């Protein structure tokens, strides 16, 4: 799910702090975009 849904194609399953931070930011951006799209309809 991480790799497919949020663009983490090259990420290994070993999670470092930097990768975890990038994932959290990507997840927040994804959810904000989804919320904006829902609010616009």
Average pLDDT, integer, range 12-16: 64
Domain ranges of the chain: 2-40
Per-residue model confidence (pLDDT) at position 22: 84
| pLDDT at residue 24, rounded to an integer | 86
Burial 10-27 (b: 16+ CB within 10 A, else e): eeeeeeeeeeeeebeeee
pLDDT, residue 32, reads 93
Per the prediction, the chain carries an average pLDDT of 75
Tell me what the mean pLDDT of segment 3-27 comes to.
Answer: 69
Q: 26-34: long-range contacts (C-beta < 8 A, 24 or more apart)?
A: 30/5, 30/6
- The average pLDDT across 10-39 equals 81
Q: Is 38 helix (H, G, I), strand (E, B) or coil?
A: helix
7-30: average pLDDT: 75
């Amino acid at each position: 799910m991480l790799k497919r849904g949020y663009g983490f194609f090259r990420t290994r399953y070993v999670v470092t702090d930097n990768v975890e931070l990038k994932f959290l930011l990507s997840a927040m951006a994804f959810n904000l975009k989804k919320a904006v799209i829902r609010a616009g309809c």
